[in-house]
Chain A
Amino acid sequence: MPNGYWDRILHVDLTARTTWTESLGEAFWRRHLGGRSLVAHYLLSGVPVGADPLSPDNLLVFAAGVMTGTPFPGAGRHSVGAKSPLTGLFGESESGGFWGAELRHAGWDGIVVHGRADAPVYLWIQEQAVEIKDAAHLWGRETGDVEDTLRADHADRLVRVAQCGVAAEKGVRFALVVNDLNEVAGRTGLGAVMASKNLKAIAVRGKQKLPVADPVPLQQTAKWVTETMEDKHYNFHHYGTGAGIVGKHLEGHMIVKNFQDGQWDPELIQKIDAKTFKDTYVEKMDGCYACSVRCKKRVRDEAMGVLPKYGGPEYETIGAVGTNLTVSDPQIVMQLNQRLNQVGIDAVSFGTTVAWAMECFDRGLLTTEDTGGIELHWGDGATVLKLVDLVARREGPLGDLLADGALGASRRLGKGTEQYVVHVKGLEMAMHDPRGMRHMLENYPLTPTGGDHTGASRHRTSLRNTVGLCMFLQYDEPRVVDLVRAATGWDVDEEELRTVVSRGLSMARLFNLREGMATDADRLPERMHEPLRKGPLSDKRLSRDEVQSIVNTYYVEQGWHAETGIPLAGTLDALGISHYAAYAGSVAPPAGGSSELPPIVKGTPAPVVASQSQE
């Protein structure tokens, strides 16, 4: 087996209750490296076209990257993927913590879950021994309870648990997969897929050391992070994320009232900035596997029953359920963070769906008749807190409506409410506004998963998501190349890594196109073409032309058709992934493309493609 890998994928067929091991071979690993590309490989080749995401036909993939579980900062990430029940498209999310590293220490590079068990089960993985065990005693219980129970059942407090929550059991379309209670594969509803298979949890214990070609660069990198902490990682180390909220607010693009306002009350903003949490409620900063940056807040508030084991509000949560809903009470924001982790719901989708509902209520389009008597007002944190549980249980007309996510809810409600959903491809937009952040303009329309803020349409984040590295670590590209070389012993260079990334993006693109994604899904929501109502950016307008030009230029960069964005046959050939076209349903890669690697790989600038519209 190659260095950096065990070359073992665990397949679990829950219908037949069997497991088997797949060896993908060194050539495959060198072409794909892991993470998102591994997800794309299985979704394209293993999920039937048009499959219902909550049916046994879907696959749920847990994919480590080549770096996952090697001992240096940032190497604790893994990817989770499936066809998304929220968007019907490529579902992928990355998570940190310890679970991914533990899986690798147990001797596995990934898990592919097939079918559906006839009753709730969990997987118990102890090194290479795998058992499918009864989970009737875990079903219906919250995440903290489940982890405690599994650790007690297996008499080992170091068992690492990935699980779906009670919200997933109810088919909440933005239910997530959580590991280590506070680390989440949050977006695209992967928890709902897990629960649809009657799979409650995957508990892992492993103690093997991954074989690496040359451990010295990894050790040197760990040392470098420690030595340069104050210079390179100060903000993450001391505050986690959320230390920039006051700044974003000053600039006028903090997310407020469903992306309508860029500013709110500056005094209220201060109350839920990361600094306030740090000064008042953070018990300690904690970290992921092997990472000295320790960017995770752990908060305690005895009066409110808020416990450190559920972490603390990070930026996206503070934005989505705090500023976006104008909830300014830090104690409520902490309770919301905890509750969302306890029931297993994505904070971003929850907050943006509630924001949509509040706007519709404001406009008289959603009434108390629709909500079962519940009034929705901006700033009413107590009601938002109640909504977490209503949504998690799909309880009452409002809980059930919102559990479908903002787009699904708007289609059920009708009355023209779809125009107020701030989403891309069905995934609600995260807490970064393209009207104030240039690179979000380039990111959101093109990220395979939709309104995902992590820049996953671009090289840097895509590479991190492929190799299993955290994007917060300030490693430059040459260092990442060195790390991959050190782990594998392969003589890779930057161009080769760009090729790997491009493969993964083209594969995800093929999947989306075959699942019926229209080309005009590569755009921003209508709200982004309205000016912000408040603040210094309120005179700015984003033009559709500019967005279209960015989109078409990206197509050319990736070696896709300049108008339709379908990967060209020549590009697939040059990337060595033509065989995936057989899984692309009725999507026919257009002839053309020169069988040369696309411009983004070669590092040649693509010509900027001007929009042809009349705007």
Chain B
Amino acid sequence: MSTHVRVEVHLHADLERYAPGARRGVLALVLPIGAQVGDVLRELALPADRRVLVGLNGATANIEQVLEDGARIDLVPPIAGGSHLEDTCRTVTGIAFSTSI
């Protein structure tokens, strides 16, 4: 029985800087069974003050969600393309996004 899960992490836009060895911002991580979304963020050592949107298999994730083998994680900075203004409805790295509208 496998003791680990393999997940694919996609770092979007400037977040790709936090995985310099990854090809096109995509890297594979192998984590112990039971690992959660938050463990991915800790593994990548993203700065605590970076605001990040976290997706798990295409849906917004919360950091306690347990990862299954083959999961896809997207880490995206909140950019409003075409509008320079930063949104105010974000939270800090690792905490699931929720809108304040």
Interface of A toward B, CB cutoff 8 Å = 230, 234-235, 238-239, 241-248, 250-252, 266-267, 273-275, 279, 314-316, 319, 430-432, 435-441, 453-455, 460-461, 471-472, 474, 536-537, 540, 542
Pull 27 A–B residue pairs with CB atoms less than 8 Å apart, ordered by A. A235-B13, A235-B14, A243-B13, A244-B12, A244-B80, A247-B12, A247-B76, A247-B79, A250-B53, A250-B55, A250-B60, A250-B76, A250-B97, A251-B60, A266-B58, A273-B12, A275-B25, A315-B81, A430-B82, A431-B81, A437-B83, A438-B100, A439-B85, A440-B83, A455-B84, A460-B85, A542-B101
- Which residues of the partner chain A approach B81 to less than 8 Å between Cβ atoms? 241-245, 248, 274, 314-316, 319, 431
Interface of B toward A, CB cutoff 8 Å = 12-14, 17, 24-25, 53-55, 57-60, 74, 76-85, 87-89, 97-101
Closest chain A CB from B82 CB (angstroms) = 4
Interface of B is mostly: loop
Closest chain A CB from B24 CB (angstroms) = 6
**Are A244 and B101 neighbours in the complex by a CB distance under 8 Å?**
no
What are the 10 closest A-B residue pairs judged by CB atoms, nearest first? A266-B58, A315-B81, A244-B79, A247-B76, A234-B14, A241-B81, A243-B13, A250-B55, A315-B82, A247-B53
In the complex, A230→B79 CA distance in Å? 15
- The one of A244, A267, A430 that contacts B76, using a Cβ cutoff of 8 Å: A244
- Which residues of the partner chain B approach A245 to less than 8 Å between Cβ atoms? 81
- Which residues of the partner chain B approach A239 to less than 8 Å between Cβ atoms? 13
**Are A455 and B83 neighbours in the complex by a CB distance under 8 Å?**
yes
**Are B60 and A432 neighbours in the complex by a CB distance under 8 Å?**
no
**Are A246 and B55 neighbours in the complex by a CB distance under 8 Å?**
yes
Which of the listed residues B24, B99, B100 has the most CB atoms from chain A within 10 Å of its own CB?
B99
- The one of A267, A274, A275, A474 that contacts B58, using a Cβ cutoff of 8 Å: A267
**Are A540 and B99 neighbours in the complex by a CB distance under 8 Å?**
yes
In the complex, A431→B81 CA distance in Å? 9
Select from chain A the residue with minimum beta-carbon distance to B96.
Answer: A536
- Which residues of the partner chain A approach B88 to less than 8 Å between Cβ atoms? 438-439
**Are B101 and A438 neighbours in the complex by a CB distance under 8 Å?**
yes
Select from chain B the residue with minimum beta-carbon distance to A454.
Answer: B83
Select from chain B the residue with minimum beta-carbon distance to A439.
Answer: B85
**Are A437 and B87 neighbours in the complex by a CB distance under 8 Å?**
yes
Select from chain A the residue with minimum beta-carbon distance to B81.
Answer: A315
- Which residues of the partner chain B approach A461 to less than 8 Å between Cβ atoms? 84
- Which residues of the partner chain A approach B24 to less than 8 Å between Cβ atoms? 275, 279
In the complex, A274→B84 CA distance in Å? 16
